[in-house]
Structure 1
């Protein structure tokens, strides 16, 4: 197929968001783009439990402010399992680069969410993205298994 979609390396996502409308919208946008949502949860404890159980999560989208703690705790748990995290938050923490591969500021347009995931995927493949979405920071060279930002993937 000449004009077919290329095979993605990021397909299975865990969404960690405690605002129901944002969670619903995120899930809808991603599903429409053929991403598989492993789960959408609103608590740190639930996210960590899913990370413990699921074998094949490609990316965690985590808000920072959650009902029972912080998305930072989710990022730490994901890093121990080698799963990259993109913070999706109104206020990206100062130490985000040590914990995540990227940060997307809220509010964001649906196209910016998709473009952010595609930029992470391109970085994993060693490619550069010409134009990053508004409010998005891709941390140079992320290694989630090291808990920091150096070879995305």
Structure 2
């Protein structure tokens, strides 16, 4: 199944939904650890946790990533946006999780969850992305989340 311009793919998952394996791209170690813990508790598999564009691309090239949660302000100023560009080319959706949602990068991501946010809101944002990818109609959007429109 495809969303928007057909950029993102969904595969059948053993988990309840289609998103089962998530790559975390975050350069704050405590934030990354917190994400890992809560995603695992929610039943997701963490495909990797990296703090740079190059690390993210290496994991992406290995395959098996259903969603990327990326901070925008990585080393290299726009590292998260570069990750989203590559992910878009590979058909992997991206949810930005950052203090300043980038207006100029909407074409490469499904949406943005503004920091600070609770881990409950992070899980709800992933479920919102999953609903968008599956049928385009999320039941609810968590506080601080923006969904980026796609043309298609």
Task: Give the alignment's TM-score, normalised by structure 2.
Answer: 0.84
1:125 is paired with a residue whose SS is: helix
The 5 Å alignment of 1:66-145 reads: 66-69=74-77, 70-140=79-149
Aligned pair 1:57/2:57, yes or no? no
Decide whether aligned partners of structure 1 residues 45 and 127 sit closer, same or farther in structure 2, where only a CA change above 3 A counts.
closer
Gapped runs of 5+ residues in structure 2?
A: 1-14
Q: CA RMSD in A?
A: 1.5
Count of matched residue pairs: 137
CA contact (8 A) 2:128 2:139 kept: no
| 1:150 Cα deviation after fit | 5.0
CA contact (8 A) 1:96 1:103 kept: no
Gapped runs of 5+ residues in structure 1?
A: 1-5, 141-148
| 1:14 Cα deviation after fit | 0.4
1:65 is paired with a residue whose SS is: coil
